[in-house]
């Protein structure tokens, strides 16, 4: 199971930590927790005219959570919260029902092996929830 979940693409994403850090003047900062495994994600966000203009994350959690936050760090800036929500929904469908990502952010396909491990789905989805909660708080 460990090799299947923590394959080189996910390890590379997590190690790259795109977007890790803090924003100097965020419009909102939100922290969310996964009580089942102890993952904690803090998101700083700036939003202007309904578009995410800056995002930074601090993840205390597993490689899956770190990798998902890095994907958001690479792609969420320039998107609307609704677009990020749609991506989150596509990822959830992929994990829960084997759904297709339909050309969504290409790195997300790296999370396909997580589908077989229901207890790890929230590890992938938690950073998405943090971004959406932060966007709501910034509105």
Residue 74 to residue 25: CA distance in whole angstroms: 19
pLDDT at 132 over 80: yes
Q: Which of 25-29, 116-120, 134-138 has the lowest mean pLDDT?
A: 116-120
pLDDT at 3 over 70: no
Q: What H or E segment, with its residue span, contains residue 6?
A: none
* Of 61, 60, 112, 63, the residue nearest 91 (C-alpha): 112
pLDDT at 102 over 80: no
Mean pLDDT over residues 112-125, rounded?
A: 93
Q: What is the pLDDT of residue 2?
A: 55
Domains of the chain: 2-138 (3.90.1010.10)
pTM equals: 0.92
Residue 17 to residue 115: CA distance in whole angstroms: 23
25-81: pLDDT as tens digits? 999 999 999 988 899 999 999 999 999 999 999 999 899 999 999 999 999 999 999
């Amino acid at each position: 199971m460990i090799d299947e979940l923590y394959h080189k693409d996910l390890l590379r994403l997590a190690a790259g930590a795109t977007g890790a850090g803090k924003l100097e003047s965020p419009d909102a900062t939100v922290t969310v927790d996964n009580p089942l495994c102890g993952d904690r994600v803090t998101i700083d966000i700036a939003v202007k005219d309904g578009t995410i203009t800056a995002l930074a994350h601090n993840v205390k959690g597993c490689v899956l959570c770190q990798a998902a936050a890095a994907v958001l760090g690479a792609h969420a800036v320039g998107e609307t919260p609704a677009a990020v929500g749609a991506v989150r929904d596509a990822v959830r469908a992929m994990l829960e029902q084997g759904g297709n990502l339909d050309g969504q952010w290409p790195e997300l396909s790296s999370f396909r092996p997580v589908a077989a491990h229901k207890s790890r789905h929230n590890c992938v989805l938690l950073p998405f929830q943090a971004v959406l909660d932060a966007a709501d708080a910034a509105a």
